[in-house]
Amino acid sequence: MQASLVFGASFMIGSSIFLYIVALLIVLAGFAYLTYRTSPKGKARREERRNRR
């Protein structure tokens, strides 16, 4: 009983760390996608400003 309790606790801790890492990766992927999606517009705007001078 004691061994299974310890194993259960360590499994809970390990899975929470795993879930935290997965959530972090999802947030990073979403952030990268948003930056990639808006970057061509920003690049075009920057080139327009450069050409106007």
Contacts of 21 (CB under 8 A, 6+ apart): none
CA distance 51 to 37: 23
Transcribe 15-49 into DSSP letters: HHHHHHHHHHHHHHHHHHHHHHHHHHHHHHHHHHH
pLDDT tens-place string over residues 1-53: 566 766 677 777 677 888 889 999 999 999 988 887 776 666 677 777 777 76
**For the whole prediction, is pTM greater than 0.85?**
no
Res 53: pLDDT: 66
Res 25: pLDDT: 95
CA distance 28 to 11: 25
